[in-house]
């Protein structure tokens, strides 16, 4: 089975709870990371966690609550106000990798999620 089809099934495998675990672990790490804490809005990390969680649920085959609340994702455009260079991109991927590992899914789920985060974070880069 190709990754494309597994993408659609990740929600069925890990559920709301799985995505909640990933984003909770990620946002535990953001305030402790010198690069990421300088980029994220420190007064609204809960909101940022919620938006990321809802997006991931939608992207991986769950309910489309993200778009119902926020409209088209247009994530590259939405990230333009934040200076995302190679260092920030790499740190994001590193912390998300730690979060996914901590969440404790099976290898195939980990591999699909990591591949998505790796490629999408590169796409989000908007500064040299």
Three-state secondary structure call for residue 66: helix
Contact between 11 and ligand HEM per CB under 6 A: no
Binding track over 66-105 against ligand HEM, x by CB under 6 A: ----x----x--xx--x-x---xx--x-------------
Q: Are 125 and 78 in contact (CB under 8 A)?
A: no
Cβ-based nearer residue to ligand HEM, 17 or 81: 81
Contact between 63 and ligand HEM per CB under 6 A: no
Instruction: Extract the tokens encoding 58.
Output: 């939608």
Task: Tell me the angle at which helices 3-29 and 107-123 cross, rounded to the nearest 10 degrees.
Answer: 80
Q: Is 29 exposed, middle or buried (0-12, 13-18, 19+ CB in 10 A)?
A: middle
Write out the residues near ligand HEM by the rule CB under 6 A.
36, 39-41, 44, 47-48, 51-52, 55, 70, 75, 78-79, 82, 84, 88-89, 92, 117, 120-121, 124
């Amino acid at each position: 089975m190709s990754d494309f089809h597994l993408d659609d099934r990740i929600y069925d495998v890990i559920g709301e709870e799985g995505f909640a675990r990933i984003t909770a672990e990620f946002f535990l790490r953001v305030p402790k990371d010198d690069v990421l804490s300088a980029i994220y809005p420190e007064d609204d990390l809960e909101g940022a966690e919620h938006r990321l969680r809802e997006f991931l649920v939608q992207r991986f085959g769950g309910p489309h609550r993200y778009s119902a609340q926020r409209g088209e994702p247009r994530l590259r455009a939405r990230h333009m106000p934040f200076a995302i260079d190679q260092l920030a991109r790499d740190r994001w991927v590193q912390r998300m990798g730690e979060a996914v590992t901590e969440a404790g899914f099976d290898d195939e789920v980990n591999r699909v999620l990591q591949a998505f985060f790796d490629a999408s974070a590169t796409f989000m880069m908007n500064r040299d």
